[in-house]
Amino acid sequence: MKLVIGTQAVKALRKMQPKTSETILTRLAAIAEAPFARHANVERLIGAKDGFRVRVGGWRATYRLDRGKDEMQVVRIKPRGEVYKR
């Protein structure tokens, strides 16, 4: 599956420590290779069709799978307490 990172997520990656952003990108790339396999710290989001979140330390990345386009779209990356707020 193709990994697509949204503009909000790109801004968040630029603001964080390089090692942390590298770790998050590595985890997201591994998930995109096999999106329907079991991955550690990945949970389905309730109320979001094909929506998931991955936990990396104190950070959360939310993403959705677009099966029609064969894409994994990263929606947002934020600290644990802020990611689910709109």
- Tens-digit pLDDT profile for residues 22-74: 999 999 999 999 998 999 999 999 988 899 999 998 999 999 999 999 999 99
pLDDT of res. 85: 65
Pick the CATH number of 2-79 from 3.40.190.80, 3.40.50.300, 3.30.2310.20, 3.40.309.10: 3.30.2310.20
pLDDT band at 81 (very low <50, low <70, confident <90, very high): confident
8 A C-beta contact, residue 28 and residue 61: yes
Picking from 11, 31, 19, the residue whose alpha carbon sits closest to that of residue 78 is 11
pTM flag (> 0.85): yes
User: What Rg value do the Cα atoms of the chain yield, rounded?
Assistant: 12
- Domain ranges in the chain? 2-79
Contact 81, 66 (CB under 8 A): no
Q: Would you state the pLDDT for residue 48?
A: 84
In sign, the C-alpha dihedral spanning 45, 53, 10, 85 is positive
Listed residue (71, 83, 5) closest to 35, CA to CA: 71
